[in-house]
Amino acid sequence: MNALSIADIRSAVLSGGRAELQREDCRPAAVLTPLVSINNEWHFLFTKRTEDLEHHRGQVSFPGGSLEEDEPCESGALRETFEEIGIPAHAIEVVGFLHDIRTPSRYVITPVVGVVHSIDRLAVNPAEVSRAFTAPLSFFADEANAEIRFITIHGISREVYFYHYDGETIWGATAMILRDLMRRLRMVSQRSNGRK
């Protein structure tokens, strides 16, 4: 899948569309799902939230957060990315949106997929982020690296995916976003290989 071009990634994201969830009594939020090419290999860029935050403290996530009133999802994701890790909007090529996700903490998150053209000048905001790191797309393409557990949340047993990489655990909404995007990328990669 590392042979995928930005156009392929855009096609993969757009192919699945976006299922928008009613926000009702949930807070709207957006995250950037950042892809960056490192040594000709696609990587995801993650952040680890500090232990001082109110929600999802200490968890690995994508940069993002609550939307301001009437703020578009794309603008919110780019704003939060700059606030958290210092990447300006002009360094990110947004390619599309994934399905909304509702979390047990009562957020509706819209994942905004973007290609980051450089991470040479990351500036981690220590008030929100304890660490930023990358993990290769190929790691998540290998189903052997996914651990499935069943967790009861609000009385309902749910299938939850976990990934363990570089001493960190990636799970919850972040893992759901990864799986949605990887499914789309896999389909485009298979189509591309079928044409060769």
Query: Is residue 66 within 8 Å of 72, Cβ to Cβ?
Result: no
Residue 195 lies in a domain: no
Residue 104 lies in a domain: yes
Residue 39 lies in a domain: yes
Domain that holds residue 23: 6-188
Q: How many CA atoms lie within 13 A of 75 on its CB side?
A: 6
Q: Where are the beta strands (DSSP E) in the chain?
A: 27-38, 41-49, 60-61, 64-66, 92-97, 101-102, 107-116, 129-136, 147-153, 156-165, 168-171
CATH code of the domain in which 108 resides? 3.90.79.10
Structurally, the chain folds into a number of domains equal to: 1
- pTM for this structure? 0.92
Give kind and range of the element (H or E) at residue 81.
Answer: helix 73-85
69: tokens are 């009133």
Query: Is residue 78 within 8 Å of 31, Cβ to Cβ?
Result: no
Residue 37 phi, psi (nearest 5):
-90, 120
Residue 1 lies in a domain: no
Residue 113 lies in a domain: yes
Residue 34 lies in a domain: yes
Residue 73 phi, psi (nearest 5):
-55, -45
Per-residue pLDDT of the chain (196 residues; tens, 9 = 90+): 768 999 999 999 999 999 988 877 899 999 999 999 999 999 999 999 987 766 556 799 999 999 999 999 999 999 999 999 999 999 999 999 999 999 888 899 999 999 999 999 899 999 999 999 999 999 999 999 999 999 887 788 888 999 999 999 999 999 999 999 999 999 887 776 655 5
Residue 25 lies in a domain: yes
Residue 31 lies in a domain: yes
